[in-house]
Amino acid sequence: MSKSKNPITIARSIIRIGDAARNANDYSLLGALHEMVEQLSQHGIKDTDVDMDLLLEYVEAADGCDYCRAGDGKPSFEELTTKINQQLARRGQAQVEASDQSVLKFEPLVHLVTAAYAKNEDGMTSGLSIALVVNQDGSVDLPREHFLNAELLDYFDENRPVDWRHAESDLPQRLQGYHLVAGSVEVQEILPRELEAMSF
């Protein structure tokens, strides 16, 4: 007889059929299920989750006499069902534990955006710079105390979310007579903690 090296996933189907047939007193179906599992066991077929000998004993119990099994000191149908459920749950539990261990909580990155604004009055050019932090959700924080902050906050409240990838187009083109200087926008990916060490 050839032995299978590749396990199959069949235990859940077997116990679903077994439970349904037993509840319906369908002993013809239980007998067929018993024969099928016996054939699988004889051919060395393994289940991915449940020991095949346990599955075979389960269908024997489902198809047999509860009082006879108790008299022979064998586990009851309910006890076998519990053992199978425990084996089925083992892989799921391992998956949950592995998932818990693999979830690392990384500090989210933010983007520091700086830009220059300029205006020309009476032949004199004056300029200023702004700094803002774009969070992952597209909201904006202003780390620098600046007379333009109120206008900036109003602007970003009306124009959310901000995409750091398109920072130059997402910034206001004019602020209180100042215009955005083309090519002056710079974006840097940083950790929020770095802001605490910066001087604005």
Q: How far, in Å, CA of 10 to CA of 174, rounded?
A: 68
pLDDT for 2: 40
The pLDDT score that the predictor gives to residue 4 is 54
Using the structure block, give the residue that is written with the tokens 């929020």: 192
Contact 77, 66 (CB under 8 A): yes
| Beta-carbon count within 10 A of 179 CB | 13
AA identity, residue 45: I
Question: Please, are residues 189 and 108 in contact by the beta-carbon 8 Å criterion?
Answer: no
Q: Is 50 helix (H, G, I), strand (E, B) or coil?
A: coil
- Scored b (16 or more CB within 10 A) or e, 84-101 reads beebbeeeeeeeeeeeee
Position 68 scores a pLDDT of 76
Q: How far apart are alpha carbons 24 and 81 in whole angstroms?
A: 17
pLDDT at 74: 87
Q: Give which of 66, 87, 68 is closest to 78, Cα–Cα.
A: 66
Structure tokens, 148: 């333009």
3-state secondary structure of 17: helix
Cα separation, 30 vs 20, whole angstroms:
9
* Residue 1: predicted pLDDT: 37
- Residue labelled with tokens 């047939």: 21
Is 0.75 topped by the overall pTM?
Answer: no
**pLDDT at residue 6, as a whole number:** 74
DSSP string, 49-118: SS-HHHHHHHHHHHTS-HHHHHHTTPPPHHHHHHHHHHHHHHHHHHHHHHHHHH---PPPPEEEEEEEEE
- The predicted structure's pLDDT at residue 5: 65
Q: What one-letter code names the amino acid at 72?
A: D
Question: If you count them, how many residues does the chain have?
Answer: 200
Per-residue pLDDT of the chain (200 residues; tens, 9 = 90+): 344 567 888 889 998 998 899 889 898 999 999 999 999 989 898 988 889 999 999 998 888 777 777 778 888 888 999 999 898 888 778 777 777 666 667 778 999 999 999 998 888 888 999 999 999 898 999 998 888 899 998 998 888 788 899 988 999 999 988 999 999 999 999 999 888 888 87
